[in-house]
């Protein structure tokens, strides 16, 4: 069989890409080696600009179960420091607490609504690039099969088989020192701090909720989720990982070591599976290229890094939103020259910044007196509002602009749900200029806070704008050609 696009991996990134492609008129085939939902507890929510981006697609409300868009969060963390954002003008930080399983299930439902086929139990075993297609070998419930595709996207995680079979290099570093242990627990009522909601430990004090709490011996994180789940994590370099399966007793012993006090937490009750894991070391790597001819890498297949601060899904899901409309334009035949190349040129620098700040946060949160001295200096710097603003933008992913682009567009309402390019024209003067692109660009009127007109890419970035009452169409036409190809020939 054949398909325009085969996506390997039905995690959040692969499903998000599938939805973006389908909205742009391309229905991919998604291959997933699992036969059902993952039982592994990974991300516990979303951090950064992906939260308002999901709202632009009408997906934020599906996750929260309530109407209305997101509001900036009053606080976050950076390197085990509290990042106080309440009152910060133009606060860029958004968060959404939702387990990765819920995010994945929501995106799977949306993909199904859009007609995307997801084949569970299908694992990539071979890949061969031709001049005009990619041939993939797949093992599945009905035996091995061969699928031809115009493009293949590897969204199959940090151990990506797509990446390995294609021959991408994956340079970077491996840190074997730190070991983190995480467990789902029940917390006795008397241990919950009534003011902060944190963990009140006799003989120690309060571990605040949803923050990295550093001591001279390691780091602790306590996460009491709104759905009643409680996760506790203890990380240290002093207790190496063993070969035996991790136990709750081991997690609590490590917690005791890091805090210097016993923490009487209880085994979890209620339906499982319950999180219990040990992670030894970590990798920080970025692929040497995001694309080789007709094979493209997405999300963790292209980059892996520390999870500190929660940037992973913000990075990977925005990769998918950036790639989706560009790949669809190529499949549908109207992409301007070099459009697909901008996927890497725009997204690689973002990954490099995430690698940079997660490595820096890891060092700031580490044990030892030298780190304590560094933290004393850093604490003084964080008293400056400009520093807090800079760090918030760094974590949110709003501290950069793509080459020649404006920033993230304001909320334009339901017109962004379809993932179409938009010309917002409140002057009523630009209909003639955009007419040759109306097969791929929608002309809309939406109240704007400042600009009278703007051209917005499907990933919600502003490609052109004007604040005058009668804008010249010249710059608009240049932007239309650059991002949306040649004008349609009149018949």
Using 50, 70 and 90 to split pLDDT, how confident is the model at 339?
Answer: very high
Taking only the tens place, the pLDDT of each residue in 145-170 is 999 999 999 999 999 999 999 999 99
Cite the DSSP H helix spans in 69-208. 100-113, 161-166
Using 50, 70 and 90 to split pLDDT, how confident is the model at 464?
Answer: very high
In angstroms, the CA 111 to CA 214 distance is 41
C-alpha closest to that of 211 among 201, 200, 198:
198
Give, as one character, the DSSP assignment of residue 287: -
Using 50, 70 and 90 to split pLDDT, how confident is the model at 297?
Answer: very high
H or E element in which residue 78 lies: strand 75-78
- Arithmetic mean of pLDDT over the chain: 93
Q: Over 90: is that where the pLDDT of 346 sits?
A: yes
* Most confident by average pLDDT, 38-42, 89-93, 115-119, 365-369: 115-119
44 vs 98 pLDDT, higher one: 98
Q: Over 90: is that where the pLDDT of 367 sits?
A: no
- Report CA 34 to chain centroid distance, whole Å: 21
Q: Over 60: is that where the pLDDT of 332 sits?
A: yes
Can you read off the two tokens belonging to residue 288? 């040497």
pTM value surpassing 0.85: yes
Taking only the tens place, the pLDDT of each residue in 428-440 is 899 999 999 999 9
CB 257 within 8 A of CB 217: yes
**Residue 452 preceded by cis peptide, ω within 30:** no
DSSP lists the bridge partners of residue 282 as 175
Residue 157, SS3 per DSSP: coil
Taking only the tens place, the pLDDT of each residue in 191-216 is 999 999 999 999 999 999 988 899 99
- By CB atoms closer than 10 A (0-12, 13-18, 19+), residue 174 is exposed
pLDDT value at residue 150: 98
CB 327 within 8 A of CB 150: no
CB 332 within 8 A of CB 325: no
pLDDT value at residue 448: 74
Q: Over 80: is that where the pLDDT of 39 sits?
A: no
| Residue 309, phi then psi, degrees to nearest 5 | 85, -10
pLDDT value at residue 491: 44
Give, as one character, the DSSP assignment of residue 214: E
Q: For 206-270, give the DSSP string.
A: EE-BTSEEEETTEEEEEEE-TTS-EEEEEEESSS---SSPP-HHHHHHHHHHHHTS----B---S
Arithmetic mean of pLDDT, 410-417: 95
Can you read off the two tokens belonging to residue 377? 């200096």
Report percent pLDDT > 70 for the chain.
98
Taking only the tens place, the pLDDT of each residue in 53-79 is 999 999 999 999 999 999 999 999 999
pLDDT value at residue 304: 96
Taking only the tens place, the pLDDT of each residue in 167-184 is 999 999 988 788 999 999
Weakest-pLDDT range from 103-112, 130-139, 332-341, 463-472: 463-472
Report percent pLDDT > 90 for the chain.
81
pLDDT value at residue 270: 84
Residue 150, SS3 per DSSP: strand
42 vs 271 pLDDT, higher one: 271
User: Angle at which helices 369-381 and 341-364 pack, to 10 degrees?
Assistant: 120
C-alpha closest to that of 223 among 199, 202, 193:
199
Residue position matching structure tokens 């550093």: 214
Residue 14, SS3 per DSSP: helix
* CB count in 10 Å sphere of residue 197: 13
Q: Over 80: is that where the pLDDT of 324 sits?
A: yes
Q: Is 290 left (phi over 0), alpha (psi -120 to 50) or beta?
A: alpha
């Amino acid at each position: 069989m054949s398909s325009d696009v085969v996506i390997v991996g039905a995690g959040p990134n692969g499903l998000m890409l599938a939805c973006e492609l389908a909205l742009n008129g391309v229905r991919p085939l998604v291959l997933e080696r699992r036969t059902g939902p993952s039982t592994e507890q990974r991300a516990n929510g979303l951090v950064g600009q992906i939260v308002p981006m999901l709202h632009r697609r009408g997906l934020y409300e599906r996750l929260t179960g309530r109407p209305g868009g997101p509001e900036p969060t009053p606080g976050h963390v950076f390197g085990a420091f509290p990042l106080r954002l309440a009152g910060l003008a133009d606060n860029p930080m958004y968060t959404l607490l939702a387990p990765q399983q819920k995010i994945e299930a929501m995106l799977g439902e949306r993909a199904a609504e859009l007609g995307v086929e997801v084949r569970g139990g299908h694992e990539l075993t071979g890949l061969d690039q031709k001049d005009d297609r990619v041939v993939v070998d797949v093992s599945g419930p009905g035996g091995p099969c061969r699928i031809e595709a115009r493009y293949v996207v590897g969204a199959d995680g940090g151990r990506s088989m797509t990446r390995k079979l294609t021959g991408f290099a994956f340079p970077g570093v491996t840190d074997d020192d730190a070991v983190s242990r995480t467990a789902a627990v029940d917390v006795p009522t008397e241990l919950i701090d009534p003011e902060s909601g944190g963990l009140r430990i006799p003989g120690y004090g309060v571990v605040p909720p949803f923050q990295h709490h550093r001591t001279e011996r390691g780091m602790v994180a306590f996460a009491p989720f709104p759905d009643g789940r409680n996760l506790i994590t203890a990380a240290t370099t002093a207790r190496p990982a063993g070969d035996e399966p991790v136990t709750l007793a081991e997690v609590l012993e490590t917690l005791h070591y890091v805090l210097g006090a016993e923490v009487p937490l209880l085994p979890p009750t209620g339906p499982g599976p319950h999180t219990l894991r040990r992670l030894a070391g970590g990798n920080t790597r970025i692929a040497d290229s995001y694309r080789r001819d007709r094979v493209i890498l997405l999300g963790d297949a292209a980059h892996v890094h520390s999870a500190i601060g929660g940037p992973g899904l913000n990075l990977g899901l925005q990769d998918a939103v950036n790639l989706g409309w560009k790949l669809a334009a190529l499949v549908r035949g109207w992409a301007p020259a070099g459009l697909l190349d901008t996927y890497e040129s725009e997204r690689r620098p973002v990954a490099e910044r995430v690698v940079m700040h997660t490595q820096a946060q890891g060092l700031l949160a580490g044990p030892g007196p030298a780190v304590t001295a560094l933290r004393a200096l850093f604490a003084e710097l964080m008293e400056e509002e400009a520093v807090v603003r800079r760090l918030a933008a760094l974590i949110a992913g709003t501290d950069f602009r793509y080459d020649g682009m404006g920033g993230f567009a304001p909320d334009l309402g339901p017109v962004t749900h379809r993932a179409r390019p938009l010309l917002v024209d409140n002057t009523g003067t630009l209909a003639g200029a955009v007419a040759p692109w109306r097969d791929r660009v929608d002309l809309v009127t939406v109240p704007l806070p400042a600009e009278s007109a703007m051209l917005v890419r499907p990933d919600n970035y502003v490609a052109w704008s004007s604040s005058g009452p009668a804008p010249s169409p010249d710059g608009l036409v240049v932007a239309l050609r650059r991002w949306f190809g040649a004008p349609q020939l009149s018949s």
